[in-house]
């Protein structure tokens, strides 16, 4: 067990469980085609929007627009996008 894990106070069994889950997730991801990975990412995004909508009581469209605005906060506009 690494010193970082011991310092965080994880029990050795938890560390092994985390490593097993990480390995399982990586294997499952690598076994998918690129199209399947994209479909999974989109489905997870839809699921997150539905959870956020349920938690806030807002319609999914409102949640999507709020998330889009948050992603843009702090970004600088690209000059090449604004020039003809």
Q: pTM, whole model, 2 decimals?
A: 0.57
Residues 29-80 have pLDDT tens digits of 999 999 999 999 999 999 999 999 999 999 999 999 998 898 888 778 777 8
**What is the separation of C-alpha 3 from the centre of its chain, rounded to a whole number of angstroms?**
28
SS3 71: helix
CA dihedral 44, 48, 51, 53 (to 10 degrees): -130
Report the alpha-carbon angle 80-38-74, nearest 5.
40
Q: Which residues make Cβ contacts (< 8 Å) with residue 69, sequence separation at least 6?
A: none
The region that residue 11 occupies, defined by phi over 0 for left and psi between -120 and 50 for alpha, beta otherwise, is beta
């Amino acid at each position: 067990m690494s010193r970082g894990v011991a310092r965080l106070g994880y029990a050795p069994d938890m560390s092994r469980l985390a490593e097993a889950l990480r390995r399982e997730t990586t294997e499952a991801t690598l076994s998918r085609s690129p199209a399947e990975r994209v479909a999974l990412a989109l489905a997870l995004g839809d699921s997150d929007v539905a959870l956020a909508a349920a938690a806030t009581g807002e319609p999914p469209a409102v949640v999507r627009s709020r998330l889009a605005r948050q992603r843009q906060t702090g970004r600088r506009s690209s000059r090449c996008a604004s020039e003809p």
